[in-house]
């Protein structure tokens, strides 16, 4: 039982760290909506200020969060194998 709680803890820590890394490294982009049309302009630089998140920025954050979760899960499994 303790091994499962460690696994969940590492998973949650990985998700949080991945989400934070994704938010801090999100690309700068602007989304313009004209009726049913949506245009998005992206830059290679990291976004600086506030403002609403665009769909590609949310996608970037979600991908980084998933990667962090997988890494956290891997670390949790490795820590569980080492103890047991």
Confirm whether 49 is domain-assigned.
no
Please write the tens of the pLDDT for every residue from 10-32.
999 999 999 999 998 888 877 77
Q: In the beta sheet, which residues pair with residue 37?
A: 34
pLDDT band of residue 83 (cuts 50, 70, 90) is low
Total domains present in the chain = 1
Confirm whether 68 is domain-assigned.
yes
pLDDT band of residue 84 (cuts 50, 70, 90) is low
Confirm whether 45 is domain-assigned.
no
Query: What domain range includes position 83?
Result: 1-22+59-84
- CB-based contacts of 18, cutoff 8 Å, min separation 6: 64, 65, 66, 67, 68, 69, 71, 72
Confirm whether 50 is domain-assigned.
no
Confirm whether 13 is domain-assigned.
yes
Confirm whether 34 is domain-assigned.
no
Give the model's pLDDT for residue 81: 77
Q: Does the structure show a pLDDT above 70 at 7?
A: yes
* Widest distance between CA atoms in the chain: 59
Confirm whether 84 is domain-assigned.
yes
Confirm whether 63 is domain-assigned.
yes
């Amino acid at each position: 039982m303790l091994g499962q709680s460690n696994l969940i803890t590492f998973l949650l820590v990985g998700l949080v760290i991945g989400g934070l890394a994704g938010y801090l490294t999100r690309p700068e982009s602007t989304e313009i909506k004209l009726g049913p049309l949506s245009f998005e302009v992206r830059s290679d630089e990291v976004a600086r200020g506030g403002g609403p998140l665009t769909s590609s920025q949310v996608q970037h954050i979600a991908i980084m969060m998933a990667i962090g979760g997988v890494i956290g899960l891997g670390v949790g499994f490795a820590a569980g194998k080492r103890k047991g």
